[in-house]
A = this chain, B = another copy of it.
Amino acid sequence: MPRSDLAGKAATPRIARPVPLRESVFEALLELIINGSLHPGQHLAESELAEMLGVSRQPIREALQLLSGEGWVDLHPGHGAFVHAPTAEEADQLLAVRSLLETEAATLAARNRTDEGVARLRALCARGLAAIEADEIDNAVAINSELHATVMELSGNTVLAELAAQVSRRVRWYHTPVARQRGRASWEEHTALIDAIAAGDADRAGEIMKDHTEQTRRLYLSQLGEEEPPQPLPNNRRRKRRAPAPFGG
């Protein structure tokens, strides 16, 4: 039946079909939000975004719904979309949840470990340390996410991994500035974590991951006092004439 099992070739990355506009818009808006071009609390008028990005309102609306699903914007029926204004409390809760999910993942990963998986972790860890040595912070941050994602994958719980991915994306909003601070220490903890996983010591792996994530959480909280990161600006400044009320008091 399979005359030439092309289907089994696996590594075919399923040719690049034109990415749906909504996703491009999603990426574009996300970038604008993260880099601060769109201020927290700012009202996002569909027509305006549509004109700005050169598309119609439809893909804009769909992108806004996606963004809303991930907590980047708040959708208020009849009033439109507003850039989410994160609070310190929310950040703390987010980091707490992240800690919880990551800890569980580490525990499970230690139980389900495979030689191949451990090898991948070690490779990532080596690359991460190298990046730190070379002072390539951005690179190190990227490798860090990859490492945590790999632990998630090794946990074997897809649902857990997806949820954690969602949380991690939101954490990114705050995480970036923090990450620069605890470079080396973080990677030494990673090494210990991988050792625990390799040894199949679930409890220790969980313990280490818990300390590891709680550490960044604490660091973030201590940083809060110094500088409010995503500054909740007094908002509007860009409306042509009229600024919409914060409505529904």
Binding site for B on A (CB under 8 A): 7, 14, 17, 19-20, 23, 58, 61-62, 65-66, 69, 77-78, 90, 93-94, 96-97, 100-101, 104, 157-160, 163, 167, 248-249
The interface residues of chain B lying within 8 Å CB-to-CB of A97 are: 157, 159-160, 163
| Contact (A248, B66) CB under 8 Å given A97-B159, A159-B90 | no
**Shortest distance from the beta carbon of A215 to any chain B beta carbon, whole Å:** 19
**Shortest distance from the beta carbon of A71 to any chain B beta carbon, whole Å:** 8
CA distance A158 to B96 in the complex (A): 11
**Shortest distance from the beta carbon of A161 to any chain B beta carbon, whole Å:** 9
The interface residues of chain B lying within 8 Å CB-to-CB of A20 are: 77-78
CA distance A104 to B158 in the complex (A): 20
B69, A158: Cβ atoms closer than 8 Å: no
CA distance A249 to B5 in the complex (A): 12
**Assembly of this chain: how many copies?**
2
B7, A249: Cβ atoms closer than 8 Å: yes
Looking at chain A's contact residues, is the secondary structure mostly helix, strand, loop, or mixed? Answer: helix
The interface residues of chain B lying within 8 Å CB-to-CB of A66 are: 65, 69
**Shortest distance from the beta carbon of A212 to any chain B beta carbon, whole Å:** 17
| Contact (A17, B78) CB under 8 Å given A93-B157, A249-B7 | yes
Among A23, A58, A77, chain B packs the most CB atoms within 10 A around the CB of A77
CA distance A158 to B93 in the complex (A): 7
CA distance A46 to B136 in the complex (A): 48
Can you list 18 A-B contacts (CB < 8 A)? A17-B77, A20-B78, A62-B62, A62-B65, A65-B66, A65-B69, A69-B69, A93-B158, A93-B160, A94-B159, A96-B157, A96-B159, A96-B160, A97-B159, A97-B160, A100-B101, A100-B104, A163-B163
A161 closest partner in B (C-beta):
B93
**Shortest distance from the beta carbon of A31 to any chain B beta carbon, whole Å:** 20
**6 cross-chain pairs, A with B, having the tightest CB-CB distances, nearest first:** A69-B69, A93-B159, A93-B157, A20-B77, A65-B65, A94-B159
CA distance A17 to B79 in the complex (A): 12
A87 closest partner in B (C-beta):
B158
A91 closest partner in B (C-beta):
B159
The interface residues of chain B lying within 8 Å CB-to-CB of A167 are: 159, 163
The interface residues of chain B lying within 8 Å CB-to-CB of A58 are: 58
CA distance A66 to B67 in the complex (A): 11
